[in-house]
Amino acid sequence: MLNRTIRVRVPGTSANCGPGFDAIGVACTIYNDLELTLKGEEGLVIEIEGEGAANIPADERNIVLRAIRTILKRAHREDEVKGFHIRMTNHIPLSRGLGSSAAAIVAGLKAANALLGNRFSRRELLQMATNIEGHPDNVAPAIFGGFTISVVTRGRVECFSLMPRMPLKLVVAVPEFPLSTRLARSVLPEQVKMKDAVFNVSRAALLVAALTKGQPRFLRNAFADALHQPYREKLIPGMKDVFRAACRAGALGASLSGAGPCLIAYTLENEESVGQAMVEAFREHEIEAHALQLSLDAHGARILKHR
């Protein structure tokens, strides 16, 4: 375990997927890499490259380190490990709704677990990740890949993952301003109307059914939401116009990615046109953005190499 180095890769994720608030997530082909060495001597070195490098703590506050310590504590091995060398290479935009914090948590858990001989199963990693993150909708797809549907019952997380029976593509419009999850949650009401709850239940069920059965025509009505997007709209100028532009350009539907401000469109074709339309719609509201053309990651967090 000590003085061995492992490298892991974790996908970015989009949570909620419209009506699946805090329950449905999807893994995307944009990745963060983590290289970890556990040492017997004292010392902490955290190197960060890429997205968020200037804003991510490189000390004991680092969330990757927190995840690593969680694994060591659960395995009763924390007394053996005195030092850490952590190298993060980030491609997932920070505070944009693409699961950057979930990727960091999962990377730390996956890497430390591998150095311990994979003592814990992916289901156990999911529980630990959820305990750190607070909810499973981002960490689940980061671990398992594909679309994931998660529930929490008396603190215990259950999840299954699926790959849709259609060649679904993801187009993400990334506006050039961050949005904290805390702020995005603060605008949500504590209670919702019965009709809004029914609206979301029906569409979340329709979304999962359409993906499972490979029926893209049903997706045109499956991404609508009444529980969180209407309240967060004021935080993201032009959100509805961007959705409409994506659909006019050929997307099957569009939604807020996680807590935002990224907006994600789901399509079978015309990814470039969809992305351009979304960026132009943002620009009409004086918001600069760029588009990412992504696919679904089917594997989740994985080990790249040992040495």
- Binding site feature residues for ATP: 93-103
Bind-site residues: 93-103
Task: Please report, as a single letter, which amino acid is at residue 20.
Answer: G
Q: Comparing C-alpha atoms, which of 29, 36, 50, 32 is closest to residue 7?
A: 36
Q: What is the 3-state secondary structure (H, E, C) of the chain?
A: CCCCEEEEEEEEEEECCCCCCCCEEEEEEEEEEEEEEEECCCEEEEEEEECCCCCCCCCCCCHHHHHHHHHHHHCCCCCCCCEEEEEEEECCCCCCCCCHHHHHHHHHHHHHHHHCCCCCCHHHHHHHHHHHHCCCCCHHHHHHCCEEEEEEECCEEEEEEECCCCCCEEEEEEECCCCCHHHHHHCCCCCCCHHHHHHHHHHHHHHHHHHHHCCHHHHHHCCCCCCCHHHHHHHCCCHHHHHHHHHHCCCCEEEECCCCCCEEEEECCCHHHHHHHHHHHHHCCCCCEEEEEECECCCCCEEEEEC
